[in-house]
Amino acid sequence: MAPRTRGELASLAIIHPVLAAILEKGPAIRLPKPSDPYYGRTDHTALREHRAAILKEKWALRYLPGPVAEVIEEDRKIPVRDGSEIIIRVYKPVTKKEGGSPLIVMFHEGGWGMGDLSDEEVNCRLFSRDQGAVCVNVEYRLAPEHPFPTWINDSWDALQWCAQHASELGADPSRGFVVGGGSAGGNITAVLTHIARDEKLSPPLTGQYLGVPAIMCFLPPSHIPTQYRSEYLSHPFVTPVNDPILKVDLGPLSPLITPVARLVLGLLPLDHLARIFSIAGMNGNMSSPLFVPFHYGETERGHKDLPPAYFQVCGLDPLRDEGLIYERVLREEAGVKTKIDVYEGLGHYFWTNFPEMEMSKTFVEDTVKGMGWLLEQT
């Protein structure tokens, strides 16, 4: 399949009329109110609390507003390599699936520095109820309190723990062993599939779910191979961001990012670039594949021998082309089976931020269908 043209990519970014109508009524994200306990603060913890608060206000409108009778939920703590413990939430179908339950391990979004178990609970409940899966929702530790590579170490330790304790959890990975997540969780998923391949995780993964994933993590176009640059138009250095949720910029540096400055930034070595990006809250190592999974393409095995991948990509999302390019690389260059759904004119995590939209319900249903497709590949 030929690369998408500039015109085709531009058409994906024409805002959906329903979303436009919602945004005409007010901002996508409300400002803090005096009644909010964090009001008046601007520290990272306050930003984290505000994100959680505004999402919680919309829980009643979610596809599943709360727990469902068909699924049992249980929290437990598991050990990680530095002697600490992290929390996982296990979802099991009340009625055992005939032939055994597949195992699904999910990692939440939030830019590696925000988010919690509530972000993936709707998916986990649906996967358990509708696919008969045992689903594990992982609460990895967050930056900046726990800097890179803590979150990926926690996630890999959790995935190994799930593999080793699958039968104890009531799962049979031979029926499917899928890892997944959205945004930062999709990034973690992409990294974990490579680690699992290279470390020969047993039992092996059979699928990966990549929801609006961060694959290049906003690497400047000059730092990705030339053959992909014509498709890398959603990057903030190339196209101004119109996404109502993921308003990517470089924080206090934004007014300084002129075309000349963009050129200079694009020529910087990755280690220097990482220091600049850290000002904007991106605390990972831009030169490491443990943070930027696209870098695995430079290794001997590249992206080959990975499990089938299901993608969801949004047209307004500045991460759009990272997902589109990666899907094509997996399918055409690495021989990986893929399935992709693209949502024209809609932005990053629109389904949780605008749950009243009919397309938000469609997105969630597509997620469940996509997971079903992954399980069929087992």
Task: Give yes or no for residue 27 having a pLDDT over 50.
Answer: yes
Assess contact for 147 and 80: CB atoms under 8 A: no
Tell me the C-alpha distance between 310 and 191, whole Å: 15
pLDDT score for 114: 94
271-297 tens-digit pLDDT: 656 655 555 556 788 889 999 999 999
Assess contact for 253 and 280: CB atoms under 8 A: yes
In a domain, 37, yes or no: no
User: Coil, strand or helix: which one is 104?
Assistant: strand
In a domain, 30, yes or no: no
Confidence at 36, pLDDT banded by 50, 70, 90:
very high
Mean pLDDT of the chain: 92
In a domain, 323, yes or no: yes
In a domain, 78, yes or no: yes
In a domain, 2, yes or no: no
7-26 tens-digit pLDDT: 999 999 999 999 999 999 99
In a domain, 3, yes or no: no
In a domain, 335, yes or no: yes
Question: Which structure tokens are listed for 213?
Answer: 């994933």
Query: Which residues have a Cβ under 8 Å from the Cβ of 250 and sit 6 or more positions away?
Result: 257, 276, 277, 279, 280
User: Coil, strand or helix: which one is 18?
Assistant: helix
pTM for this predicted structure: 0.94
Which of 63-67, 214-218, 257-261 shows the lowest mean pLDDT across its residues? 257-261
Domain that holds residue 211: 8-24+44-376
Task: Give yes or no for residue 266 having a pLDDT over 90.
Answer: no
Confidence at 259, pLDDT banded by 50, 70, 90:
low
Output Rg (C-alpha) for the chain, integer angstroms: 20
- Supply angle C-alpha 132, 183, 244, rounded to 5: 120
Confidence at 351, pLDDT banded by 50, 70, 90:
very high
CATH code of the domain in which 98 resides: 3.40.50.1820
Report the DSSP pairing between strands 177-182 and 85-93. unpaired
Domains in the chain, number: 1
In a domain, 33, yes or no: no
Confidence at 262, pLDDT banded by 50, 70, 90:
low
179-188 tens-digit pLDDT: 999 999 999 9
pLDDT score for 257: 47
pLDDT score for 283: 72
151-166 tens-digit pLDDT: 999 999 999 999 999 9
